[in-house]
Chains A and B, each alone.
Chain A
Amino acid sequence: MDEGYTTTDGRKIGGVVMEMKNITLRFGGVVAIKDISFDIREGEIRAIIGPNGAGKSSMLNVMSGFYVPQEGEVWFHGKPRPQMKPYQVAQQGIARTFQNIALFEGMSVLDNVMTGRLTQMKSGLFAQAIWKGKAEAEETENREFAEKIIDFLEIQAIRKTPVARLPYGLKKRVELARALAAEPKLLLLDEPMAGMNVEEKEDMSRFILDVNDEFGTTIALIEHDMGVVMDLSDRVVVMDYGQKIGDGTPDDIRNNQAVIDAYLGVSHD
């Protein structure tokens, strides 16, 4: 297996973390993903882009283990990954955010972030209920970690605010906080910047870069905004009608005729 590469800004990218091998996903007769292969390397920011309906979200769901492809395999840390329950995925160090925010609306930001720590909690239901001994120490420890994430994402001011009262941009940030609280090795972001204004997008971009830089988290993201993708990611996969039409550095992608055609449109004859 090869040794990775060095990015233009001097970051060392490691070996392959996750590899998609000839994935095909069908819903009945509809082929959502057709024979796609690519890899994600340790420490890199990998983007998946493509026009609407290209199959990006389906791809992310395959990566997260939510969809099981009819053909092909997902290799994780050098081994084919078996079919898993969501909690098993989380235990493997994969966390994600959703395109349509999926937070606990009635709970405070802090509580939401704390739910991201659940996989780290070892004490049993009874111990947590009576709040003694190990459970208490564990809660303190996890709260400390959650607070570090809150500080990192600059959401101190809304720590105790119920999520339902927050504007959209902040909810997205809270979702990222919850995903980070799980200390993921691989972070999957499903359109982290959809529906945001320019300023919010810039903030989010900065946070994604900082997460990658600070925690060394490998990040795979789906995004529509080409400008953002080109600035953020180290390598980009381009999908169109369920097929991979390009894979490479942002510069490669920018000059790829198939990509240009997919985005600007050519007549399909």
Chain B
Amino acid sequence: MTSRVCLASVCDKRIAKAVGCRCHKPVWEETILAETQTGTGGLLSIPALLHRNATEFGTVPAFREKEYGIWQTWSWIMVEQEIQALALGLLNLGVNKGDFVAIIGRNRPYLYWSMVAAQSVGAVPVPLYQDANAEEMAYVLDHCGARFVIVEDQEQVDKVIEVQDQLHQFEHLIYLDPRGMRKYDHSHLHEYSHVQNQGRAAHDEYIKELEARSSALTYDDTCVMLYTSGTTGKPKGVVLSNRNVIESSKASCAFDNLSRDEEILAYLPMAWVGDFIFSVGQAFWAGFCVNCPESSETLMNDLREIGPTYYFGPPRVFETQLTTVMIRMEDAGNLKRRMFHHYMDHARKVGPDILDGKPVNFMDRLKYKIGDLLVYGPLKNTLGFSRVKVGYTAGEAIGPEIFDFYRSLGINLKQLYGQTEATVFIAAQPDGEVRSDTVGVPSPGVEIKVGDNGEVFYRSPGSFVEYYKNPESTASTKDADGWVATGDAGFIEEASGHLRIIDRAKDVGKMANGGLFAPKFVENKLKFYPNILEAVVFGNGLDECTAFINIDLTAVGNWAERNNIAYASYQELAGHPQVLSAIQEHVEEANRSVAEDPMLSGCQVYRFVILHKELDADDGELTRTLKVRRRIIEDKYSDIIAALYDGSPKVSTVTDVTYEDGRKGSISATLEIRDAAVVAVSQKMAAE
């Protein structure tokens, strides 16, 4: 502890030059490496990191939020004061050590502070998905037994009140936005700013208690509890300790040289482990600034204004952006369009190599420079990626074309493999070793092994403590030696040491003829077409594979407009014969690509149908992180699946849907089933 403070205070910019270090970080990082096992010099919790940041570089921006059209900024000192006021207010309301404090809302500084305030009074923050419906929330709130719930606005208040009878430990509800709240019964409802004011007023009474509780936090205390989205069954509460979070943040910051100069945009769900690590773990560790968008609709504009240096997005975000760019380029003038395509072709050829520092001849470099001036630079600026130093995509496989598009522009987009139970990081791609088909090498401090059944296991300082109140699941996931099962099937490539993930282990099956069945592998190939938003492939234990397709309304809608095809709804467009033919071409092309893989050539899609509705998390068909829930889809659409296999050309079906306001309804449709050409694999092999 003493050595750290001493070095850091010495390392002021002038002296730093004299002793040959460029900034604070390297100095204290070296000293703390030795202290890893016991925590780093007293920095055993997020509140401790906050205090360090406020003391050492207190005037540097810590949080920003765009409100009333202006970016409002809070420095680390201000953040510490805000969090302290809230923590005192929570003590005033009677929060106990070990209580669970649920947090529900979109990314807002106040809600991040709520998490840290909860930690500083010894309570455990539990962020929830804000778009979860009331029943989903009731399960989680009751499972963790949250006494306090901190929410963003009336919408969330209503949901909690709706289910409060099912919640046994629930006592206090704190809301951020007072709008529309006047008429509510305020006996156990509190406004966020009032709680803070009461906390400030009771400063002298509770400050000793607060300090005692904050300083009592150990490296093994729970830092946060995050519920997994649950592709199967009920969500599970993953308990992460301070050690998990701080060690993972430290290692990953070092891996990508993240410093306090980074800017990030916090826009992914707060309940997701990634957001917790980026916007809290890494942000508090490295001391960089977290920017919160004005609203979900202004996201792209806010992204452009902030120009983050460190960016994170699931593949879907990158896909959507690319689709938008392509649509807008098709609407652009002839000259612009030709210039765009000419230089993008060049970028695809040499861009990734230039990014990786590989040798590229002078003329190509020159042309790339010109392209940068005319096309890539302005495009990156429009996308908000001008300043991105490191960008990550994770959660799902990303299409190689999409991945290469961003990399060819000179954006250092990389892949990451992780999960909640690992505190995100299992494997990541180092600079210069980036490929679209692997997820990289084991992250620092992570050991990886592949089981006999092909399942990937890991052991790391970030491995979760347990599933809350669920020892059976904990035992079946994490063994006595600390190896955690990922549930994913994959292998380590001999030549490069990179990890490759094939599919969820439980989804991998066998075709009737004994060939390997890996639905995700095929689905990803299909989803890489901009017209296809989602695909679900069936065929485990059967002779042939079939697929459900969801079209991308933006891309297909634009195409329809261009070709004067009128449509009134998603359903109508999805059933249009020309759309079916276009999708059929995609499926057949994907089949040709699947046929090239010797292990998985049996997974070609013989028949497919375009669903009459988009798969939706509100209907339980996707998780809140937008992953496909296979079992539920198989049950719900069993009639369509049956029709896919009995050879009928059409199927009539009625589907229950949930509207955004929670009402239920049903839609009926007659869907056309198409056959897709497949490549005869055995013949092909014979021909070769």
Contact = CB atoms under 8 A, between A and B. Distances in A.
A157 B183 contact: no
Given A148-B68, A202-B661, A156 B180 contact: no
A117 B182 CA distance: 27
B437 interface: no
B452 interface: no
Top 5 nearest A-B pairs (CB, nearest first) are: A157-B297, A147-B68, A157-B298, A147-B69, A156-B294
14 contacts: A147-B68, A152-B179, A156-B294, A156-B298, A157-B294, A157-B295, A157-B297, A159-B69, A199-B660, A202-B661, A206-B180, A209-B180, A213-B183, A214-B180
A213 B182 CA distance: 8
B293 to A, nearest CB: 9
Interface string B292-312: 001101100100000000000
A151 interface: yes
Given A9-B183, A10-B183, A148-B68, A156 B297 contact: yes
Q: Select the residue from A10, A11, A156 with max chain B CB neighbours within 10 A.
A: A156
B180 A154 contact: no
Tell me whether chain B's interface is mostly helix, strand or loop, or mixed. Answer: loop
Contacts of A10: 183
B171 interface: no
B261 interface: no
Given A148-B68, A156-B294, 14 more contacts: A9-B183, A11-B183, A147-B70, A151-B68, A156-B69, A156-B297, A157-B294, A157-B297, A157-B298, A157-B301, A199-B660, A210-B180, A213-B183, A214-B180
A225 interface: no
A156 B68 CA distance: 8
Contacts of B180: 206, 209-210, 213-214
Contacts of B182: 213
A141 interface: no
Contacts of A159: 69
Nearest to B182: A213
Given A9-B183, A10-B183, A154 B661 contact: no
Contacts of A213: 180, 182-183
Contacts of B661: 199, 202
Contacts of A199: 660-661
A144 interface: yes
A150 interface: yes
A210 B179 CA distance: 7
Question: Which bracket fits the contact residues of B?
Answer: 10 to 19
A152 to B, nearest CB: 8
A110 B182 CA distance: 28
Interface in A159-209: 159, 199, 202, 206, 209
A11 B294 CA distance: 32
A28 to B, nearest CB: 43
A213 B179 CA distance: 9
B665 to A, nearest CB: 11
A215 to B, nearest CB: 11
A204 to B, nearest CB: 14
A169 to B, nearest CB: 14
Interface string B554-594: 00000000000000000000000000000000000000000
Contacts of A156: 69, 294-295, 297-298
A209 B294 CA distance: 23
Contacts of A151: 67-68
A111 B180 CA distance: 27
A110 B68 CA distance: 11
A213 B69 CA distance: 24
Contacts of A144: 68
A41 B635 CA distance: 56
A199 B182 CA distance: 24
Interface string A7-18: 001110000000
B335 to A, nearest CB: 24
Interface string A123-159: 0000000000000000000011001101110101101
